[in-house]
Every structure is written in structure tokens, then in C-alpha cells.
Amino acid sequence: EPEVTQTPSHQVTQMGQEVILRCVPISNHLYFYWYRQILGQKVEFLVSFYNNEISEKSEIFDDQFSVERPDGSNFTLKIRSTKLEDSAMYFCASSEAGFVTGELFFGEGSRLTVL
Amino acid sequence: AQKVTQAQTEISVVEKEDVTLDCVYETRDTTYYLFWYKQPPSGELVFLIRRNSFDEQNEISGRYSWNFQKSTSSFNFTITASQVVDSAVYFCALGGPNAGNNRKLIWGLGTSLAVNP
């Protein structure tokens, strides 16, 4: 069964460092998303991406964050200068045609710990 | 504004008991979508169901069933004859209409279900 894969599964970094989280969405999917979940809290939408540009972003997704689809298969989330409060599980998701006709498939998450 | 409320933070049951997880939502959209996701201890998010606002039929999938009631803005989830493997956090989520670029989901806080042997 096709799946969304994320790397790394866990990353520990120092405050102020840049972090790149990588995702390989399901190959025929067109819509890509990043969500995050701070430990013990609800899942929060960060950004959606379609046709090589951001479709929508939340207020969490400030100038420190960026997304890219550099090579047609990977979908990356970059945090330029990490803060302690960026510590969370980051989930990548993809869907075939927007969730109206297709479900969101989530990866297993990348846990980011900022020290 | 859109909002999802899962009033039950934690539920603990004994194996084989039935358990219902509540979800109440708020939206002004006439077209919307409701979801349930399971998050087991391993952390991934597992899709369980999607329901659109025009389909109020209840759904049953094995031991899982869902009761969608627009009149009370609720989309409750029942596990019949619970098993230890059902132990997880369950999230209810709401999505707006597929108009323009609005495809984000609004999530409830989740209900942590512990099924004890």
C-alpha cells in the first residue's frame, strides 16, 4: 500500500539552528500539507501546497518557516532558526485531489526537539 | 469560526466494553467534512472515516460505528466490544468546503482511550 514517508523520525537540535524535515508524498498525489502537534496537544495546520506554491498557511507559519518541492518527489519543511517552542511532532500529509474526493494520508511524523 | 470540541479528555474502559467518543463541531459552512483519526502510541495518524455534511447516514465498519447528527452538530464514534489494541488518542476533525484553497483541517483536542485487559 502506498504511504507517505518522513525523515528523520527524530531530530534533536540546538536553538537557533536550521532544520529541514523531509517528506515523500504518495506519488500520484497533488496536494501536500504540513501539520504539527506539540506534545499532548491537538494537531495544528501549518501549510498546504499545490501546483508548486503555497495554497494556504496558518498564523503559526511565519517567516521562519518555508516549504519546497525541490525535485518532484520530496516535500520539505524548513525552519530557519529554531526556537524552543518549535519542539513538536511534524506530520506531512498528501491527498490525491484535495480531501473532498480523497482522504489525507499522513506520514508517521518527525519529532523535533529543540534544546 | 470553525471549532471542534471533544469534551472527553481521557476515557478508561475494560476490554469488551462499548465506548462512545463524543465530537461536537461548529461551522457556518453549509458544506463541510468531518473526520476521525486514530493516533496509537507509536504516534502516526491513522485515517478512520470521512463524512460530508449532506450524508447523515450512520456508518458501521466492523466494531466501529459513527453517528452523525446535524441537528446537534455532533459526530460521535462508538467502539463496540473494545480491545486493548484500540488504546490510542482519537481525534475528530472538521474541514471546510473545497472552495479555493481551503483544505486545512481543524482538529479537536483528542480523547485518550485506554482499554484495559
Region A76-96: what's the mean pLDDT? 94
The whole-number pLDDT of residue A99 equals: 54
Give, rounded to a whole angstrom, the gap between the first and last alpha carbons of chain A.
Answer: 37
Closest residue in A to B53 (Cα–Cα): A100
Cβ-contact A21, A90 below 8 angstroms: yes
- Report which of residues A106 and A18 the model is more confident about: A18
How many other CB atoms are there within 10 angstroms of residue A68's CB atom?
13
Would the CA dihedral through B41, B91, B84, B8 be positive or negative? positive
When CB atoms are compared, the residue of B52, B105, B108 closest to A45 is B105
The whole-number pLDDT of residue A104 equals: 79
Region A36-51: what's the mean pLDDT? 89
H or E, element range at A45: strand A43-50
Mutate one of A5, A35, A104, A112 to test the B interface: name it (highest B CB count within 10 A).
Answer: A104
C-alpha closest to that of B61 among B48, B70, B44? B48
Region B5-31: what's the mean pLDDT? 95
What confidence category does residue A100 fall into, taking pLDDT thresholds of 50, 70 and 90? Answer: low
- Report which of residues B29 and A83 the model is more confident about: A83
Query: Which residues, in sequence order, are CB contacts of B62 under 8 Å at separation 6+?
Result: none
The whole-number pLDDT of residue B100 equals: 39
C-alpha closest to that of B103 among A40, A51, A7, A38? A51
Q: What is the pLDDT of residues A48-81, one digit of tens each?
A: 898 889 988 889 999 999 999 988 789 999 999 9
